Amino acid sequence: MNIGQAAAGSGLSAKMVRHYESIRLIPRAGRTEAGYRVYSAKDVNTLRFIRRARELGLSIERIKRLVGLWQDRERPSAEVKRVATEHVAELDAKILELVAMRDALQELAKACHGDPRPDCPILRDLESGARAAIPGGSVTEHVSHPRRSTAVGAAPRHTA
């Protein structure tokens, strides 16, 4: 089948099929005499596998590892489980970070009166992060990050 058919059969765009081929997630496609790519049903299956792995947020490196394990019928499932559990741990860490960001912004929004007055704790907090920049390009830790302590020399967190 041609690239358009392989793309449609896998749920990917032709551009992504070419990309995955270029980074060797799938083998180089065969070519017709006219130079058009030709894909097999096995290639489309691999592309579906890759698409599902990307939907689960797996990195390209992990997908390469999993494709290799999937194609090795003698592989131990323990290695597959290790790759999956490492990814779950990273997702858990991201979730905690996102929840902390949401909670911090939610508290700032609660503290803001949202009325005609110009005073706004949300903008004060954002401004305090901008002031935390140190000459020379480095930046101190943001003072209002819910999981971190106030940086040395930084203004205290505004709560009003």
* pTM of the entire predicted model: 0.71
Does residue 151 form part of some domain?
no
Residues 70, 48: Cα–Cα separation, whole Å: 13
Does residue 146 form part of some domain?
no
Does residue 157 form part of some domain?
no
Q: What is the mean pLDDT of residues 72-82?
A: 95
- Asked whether 51 and 58 are in contact (CB, 8 A), the reply is no
Q: What is the mean pLDDT of residues 117-136?
A: 80
Residue among 138, 113, 133 nearest 123 (CA): 113
Q: How confident is the model at residue 129 (pLDDT cuts 50, 70, 90)?
A: confident
Does residue 13 form part of some domain?
yes
Q: What is the mean pLDDT of residues 13-33?
A: 96
Tell me what the pLDDT averaged over the chain comes to. 86
Is 70 exceeded by the pLDDT of residue 156? no
More confident residue, 15 or 138: 15
What is the domain-level CATH number for residue 36?
Answer: 1.10.1660.10
Is 90 exceeded by the pLDDT of residue 148? no
Q: What is the mean pLDDT of residues 144-152?
A: 41
- Asked whether 51 and 89 are in contact (CB, 8 A), the reply is no
Does residue 88 form part of some domain?
no
Residues 36, 32: Cα–Cα separation, whole Å: 5
What's the number of domains the chain is made of? 1
Q: What is the mean pLDDT of residues 86-97?
A: 98
The domain in which residue 10 lies consists of 3-58
Is 50 exceeded by the pLDDT of residue 87? yes
pLDDT value for 132: 67
Angle at 47 between CA 46 and CA 49, to 5 degrees: 65
Is 60 exceeded by the pLDDT of residue 159? no
Is 60 exceeded by the pLDDT of residue 117? yes
Does residue 32 form part of some domain?
yes
Residues 22, 75: Cα–Cα separation, whole Å: 26
